[in-house]
């Protein structure tokens, strides 16, 4: 009888751990693309990890009340978890493969990409020198970031200035 209980326990434990596994990256992107198509927006994909301070800063900057309306109006924003150090079950299966496909797996995080609603890559966080902008913090980085936003949205000068105010690191 105890063996049956042990087997049942192990089965339930395995089922529970699968229940908490992250959604596949392809499914996350499909949902975002469908929503973007419906809302006539582009998709901003952010690759991040739970331990990444710069990822948290990027997310907080984008959620700041002065710039959030811009991002909400122009993008369906979605997140893919990669490069977890301790708990790999937090990662979206297949997300690391997408980074490899775009040669971004060694560039650090946060890494972001902007797609149109049909899945065509419009731009990413590589700067003109091939370095990852990540969470832009200098005047030059933010200028490159907002230039990419302008090409993929209806960014106004007023919105650009707000983004610059939020993103440029204060010394």
Domain CATH for 36: 3.40.30.10
In the chain, the percentage of residues whose pLDDT exceeds 70 is 87
- Is residue 143 a part of any domain in this protein? yes
What pLDDT is recorded for position 87? 84
Average pLDDT over residues 59-72: 97
d(CA 142, CA 131): 14
In the chain, the percentage of residues whose pLDDT exceeds 90 is 78
The conformation of residue 155, written as its DSSP 8-state character, comes to -
- Is residue 12 a part of any domain in this protein? no
- Is residue 61 a part of any domain in this protein? yes
- Is residue 144 a part of any domain in this protein? yes
- Is residue 64 a part of any domain in this protein? yes
What total of structural domains would you count in the chain?
A: 1
d(CA 90, CA 96): 12
12 pLDDT above the threshold of 60: no
- Is residue 15 a part of any domain in this protein? no
Beta strands in 12-131 (DSSP E): 42-48, 75-81, 111-115, 121-124
Give residue 91's domain range: 24-167
What pLDDT is recorded for position 6? 43
- Is residue 11 a part of any domain in this protein? no
């Amino acid at each position: 009888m105890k063996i049956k209980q042990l087997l049942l326990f192990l089965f339930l434990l395995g089922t529970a751990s699968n229940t908490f596994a992250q959604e596949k990256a392809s499914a996350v992107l499909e949902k975002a693309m469908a929503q973007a198509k419906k809302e006539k927006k582009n998709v901003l994909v952010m690759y991040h990890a739970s331990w990444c301070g710069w990822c948290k800063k990027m997310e907080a900057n984008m959620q700041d009340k002065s710039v959030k309306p811009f991002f909400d109006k122009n993008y369906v924003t979605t997140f893919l978890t990669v490069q977890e150090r301790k708990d790999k079950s937090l990662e979206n299966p297949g997300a690391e493969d997408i980074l490899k496909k775009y040669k971004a797996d060694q560039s650090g995080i946060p890494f972001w990409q902007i797609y149109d609603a049909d899945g065509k890559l419009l731009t990413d966080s590589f700067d003109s020198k091939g370095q990852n902008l990540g969470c832009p913090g200098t005047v030059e980085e933010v200028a490159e970031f907002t230039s990419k936003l302008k090409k993929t949205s209806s960014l106004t000068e007023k919105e650009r200035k707000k983004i610059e105010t939020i993103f440029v690191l204060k010394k």
